[in-house]
């Protein structure tokens, strides 16, 4: 979430006039694109196995210790116990498989724009990591919570979603099931989409479909969406809601073009969520299920956001974006 106060669940944009512009992404964890948003030309055809393998190895060569700037940023956010995490052989193998599963467009952009990919210990379970951009080089450092390497997607999503709600005596609770992949794959899909977004000027394009009819500015929705109960949660700066209000919130979400409550935070998060979940569904056969249960553990309501009509319509635009023969602006 860009241009917000620094919290574990937030992102902060530091003004570009500073020597180093950073997005602070210490978070619980943004997408349709106009054709004018121009993704990389060579993403139009799938990479050959040899080319894909070479690209993955190039990215694996950038997996290493976090930068001093990243460590300092974590500590400034109150995480004094932060420390580098060195991947084991099995963790490196897992990381290699995740990179190989990324869309061709995303992988090519990372080959051009990724500086380092690092892991750290000492980040709270509700945090994800930090993505920072150097104003001088235009390259990105992605630093992730190491425990994501062994975390289930359902655990990750439920922990994040429960920040939206609070106990209210109703006996109800919310759980989110992420099917088809793990937390690491989802998080890297989401985070790398932010790099693609910034590198290819996607959400910032004047006539992007992600803006038209949905967003009027990076953090402001069109009035009919801004008035939705789904746009009044913690992820948009609201107070936690009682679990008894969950059904109202998710019924409202089903009438919007957003794939998750987190996607309502900003147009950048909207894009990252939409791309990540489209890939989870398409490449991993996954699904996203939200359930409200009573005190006896019985499911009383259930939603599958990947089937929402507004979301399904936008998935087609994601597919077009990821395979377009147009050129990603500023990259070759």
Q: What is the pLDDT along the chain (332 residues), one digit of tens a residue?
A: 332 222 333 333 333 333 333 444 444 333 333 323 333 443 444 567 777 888 899 999 999 999 888 888 888 888 888 999 999 999 999 999 999 999 999 999 999 999 999 999 988 766 787 888 877 788 999 999 999 999 999 999 999 999 999 999 999 999 999 999 999 999 999 999 999 999 988 898 877 877 779 999 999 999 999 999 999 999 999 999 999 999 999 999 999 999 999 999 999 999 999 999 999 999 999 999 999 999 999 999 999 999 999 999 999 989 988 887 574 766 75
Is residue 213 assigned to a domain?
Answer: yes
User: Which residues form the domain of 105?
Assistant: 10-323
Supply the pTM of this predicted model.
Answer: 0.85
Is residue 329 assigned to a domain?
Answer: no
| CA–CA distances in Å: residue 161 to residues 70, 250, 263 | 26, 12, 12
Give the integer Cα–Cα distance in Å for 107 and 55. 7
Is residue 332 assigned to a domain?
Answer: no
Give the number of domains in the chain. 1
Residue with tokens 């599958």: 304
Residue with tokens 């939200």: 290
* pLDDT at position 7: 32
Within 13 A of 148's CA, how many CA atoms are on the CB side?
A: 28
Closest CA to 22 of 111, 85, 115: 115
Is residue 191 assigned to a domain?
Answer: yes
Is residue 31 assigned to a domain?
Answer: yes
Beta bridge partners of 122: none
Is residue 4 assigned to a domain?
Answer: no
Is residue 3 assigned to a domain?
Answer: no
Closest CA to 26 of 149, 120, 115: 120
H or E element in which residue 144 lies: strand 140-145
Is residue 225 assigned to a domain?
Answer: yes
């Amino acid at each position: 979430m860009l241009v917000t106060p620094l919290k574990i669940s937030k992102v902060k944009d530091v003004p570009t006039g500073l020597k180093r512009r950073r997005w602070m992404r210490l978070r619980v964890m943004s997408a349709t694109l106009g054709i004018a948003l121009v993704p990389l030309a060579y993403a139009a055809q799938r990479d050959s196995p040899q080319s894909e393998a070479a690209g993955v190895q190039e990215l694996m060569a950038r997996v290493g210790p976090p930068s001093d700037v990243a460590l300092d940023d974590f500590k400034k956010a109150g995480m004094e116990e932060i420390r580098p995490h060195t991947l084991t052989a099995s963790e490196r193998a897992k990381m290699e498989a995740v990179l190989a599963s990324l869309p061709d467009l995303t992988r090519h952009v990372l080959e051009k724009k990724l500086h380092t990919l690092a892991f750290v210990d000492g980040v709270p379970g509700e945090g994800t990591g930090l993505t920072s951009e150097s104003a001088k080089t235009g390259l990105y450092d992605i630093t992730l919570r190491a425990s994501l390497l062994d975390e289930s997607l359902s655990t990750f999503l439920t922990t994040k979603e429960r920040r939206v709600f609070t106990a209210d005596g109703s006996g109800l609770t919310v759980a989110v099931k992420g099917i088809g992949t793990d937390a690491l794959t989802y998080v890297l899909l989401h985070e790398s989409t932010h790099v693609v977004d910034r590198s290819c000027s996607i959400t910032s394009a004047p006539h992007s479909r992600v803006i038209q009819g949905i967003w009027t500015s990076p953090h402001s929705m069109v009035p009919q969406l801004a008035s939705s109960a789904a746009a009044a949660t913690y992820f948009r700066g609201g107070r936690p809601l009682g679990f008894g209000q969950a059904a109202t919130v998710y019924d409202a979400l089903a009438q919007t073009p957003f794939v998750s409550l987190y996607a309502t935070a900003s147009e950048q998060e909207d894009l990252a969520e939409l791309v990540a979940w489209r890939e989870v569904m398409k490449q991993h056969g996954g699904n996203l299920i939200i359930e409200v249960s009573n005190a006896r553990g019985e499911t009383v309501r259930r939603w599958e956001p990947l089937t929402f009509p507004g979301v399904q319509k936008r998935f087609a635009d994601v597919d077009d974006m990821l395979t377009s023969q147009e050129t990603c602006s500023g990259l070759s």
